């Protein structure tokens, strides 16, 4: 006779992806490569942030960029124009990157040749928040014109990020963006996240970000031994 049984599983849904992410993180640790997962809405300024960062850091830091954004052939060119290698991931219209998608791009690089690798994730505040790609730090970029309420509409992204960069600060005075409210909500959701106020256009805050990044890279390398 048929019987019904309850089987307890208690397994994290994305555990396969997280395992692969951990494997990538292990390789990055071994090679002393600081690995950033850069996430934002389309148009928030991911490529501008990369260009500004490259200009300030490429003398001391060996950088590479992995382009995951769907329409980023143009972005790849902008990065290469700055003298940094950019590898394109063929995403085929996906809404996010996961560890398995990043792995083939990493396989084309000799990790030991890089102090810093940045993945420009697909422009989306929902899906990329769910997936570990083996990053050392998740960096989220929000721009003033998007509004301070993005944290309420897409809370997971703000909860999982290690760094929140608020870009286009030059628009603050002409907008109704409530910076205090955003910071208050951030303090509840993710008090450990580092916040940088920035304008890639005027250069405000870019040096502070680069200084932080250099310290983090040095600490990561020390850990690699």
Partner 1 sequence: MHELAVMAGIIDVVSQYAKAQNAKKILDIRLTVGALRDFQEVWVRHYFEKFSRGTLAEGATITMAIQPIRFRCKACEHSTEMGREAFINTPTATCEQCGSAELVLCSGSQLMIDGIEVQL
Stretch that binds partner 1, among 74-82, 83-91, 154-162, 217-225 (CB under 8 A): 154-162
179 contributes a contact to partner 1 by CB under 8 A: no
189 contributes a contact to partner 1 by CB under 8 A: yes
* Residues whose CB falls within 8 Å of the CB of residue 116, separated by 6 or more in sequence, listed in order: 33, 34, 35, 36, 57, 61, 62, 63, 64, 213, 217
Contact 40, 50 (CB under 8 A): no
**Binder of partner 1 out of 143, 167, 190, 199 (CB under 8 A):** 190
User: Within the chain, what is the greatest distance between any pair of CA atoms?
Assistant: 75
Q: Binding to partner 1 (CB under 8 A): which residues in 21-80?
A: none
**Binder of partner 1 out of 26, 90, 104, 188 (CB under 8 A):** 188
Residue 35 DSSP SS3: strand
Contact 163, 170 (CB under 8 A): no
Least Å distance, CB 13 to partner 1, is 4
**Binder of partner 1 out of 106, 129, 164, 213 (CB under 8 A):** 129
130 contributes a contact to partner 1 by CB under 8 A: yes
176 contributes a contact to partner 1 by CB under 8 A: no
Q: What is the distance between the alpha carbons of residues 118 and 82, in angstroms, rounded to a whole number?
A: 15
13 contributes a contact to partner 1 by CB under 8 A: yes
Q: What is the distance between the alpha carbons of residues 187 and 184, in angstroms, rounded to a whole number?
A: 5
10 contributes a contact to partner 1 by CB under 8 A: yes
Least Å distance, CB 206 to partner 1, is 29
Task: Single out the residue of 74, 187, 68 nearest to residue 128, CA to CA.
Answer: 68
132 contributes a contact to partner 1 by CB under 8 A: no
């Amino acid at each position: 006779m048929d019987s019904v049984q309850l089987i307890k599983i208690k397994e994290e849904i994305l555990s396969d992806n997280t395992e692969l992410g951990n494997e990538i993180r292990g390789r990055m640790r071994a090679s002393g490569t600081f690995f950033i997962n850069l996430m934002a809405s389309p148009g928030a300024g991911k490529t501008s942030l990369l260009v500004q960062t490259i200009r300030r850091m490429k003398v001391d830091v060996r950088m590479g960029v992995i382009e995951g954004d769907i329409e980023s052939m143009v972005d790849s060119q902008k990065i290469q124009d700055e003298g940094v290698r950019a590898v394109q991931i063929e995403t085929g219209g996906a809404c996010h990157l996961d560890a398995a998608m990043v792995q083939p791009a990493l396989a084309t690089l000799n990790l030991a040749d890089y102090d810093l690798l940045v993945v420009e994730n697909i422009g989306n505040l929902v899906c990329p928040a769910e997936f570990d790609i083996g990053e050392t730090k998740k960096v989220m970029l929000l721009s003033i014109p998007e509004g301070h309420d993005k944290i309420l509409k897409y809370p997971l992204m703000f909860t999982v990020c290690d760094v929140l960069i608020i870009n286009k600060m030059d628009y603050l005075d002409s907008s109704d963006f409530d910076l205090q409210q955003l910071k208050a909500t951030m303090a509840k959701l993710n008090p450990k996240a580092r916040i940088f106020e920035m304008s890639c256009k005027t250069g405000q805050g870019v040096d502070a970000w680069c200084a932080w990044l250099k310290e983090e890279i040095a600490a990561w390398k020390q850990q690699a031994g």
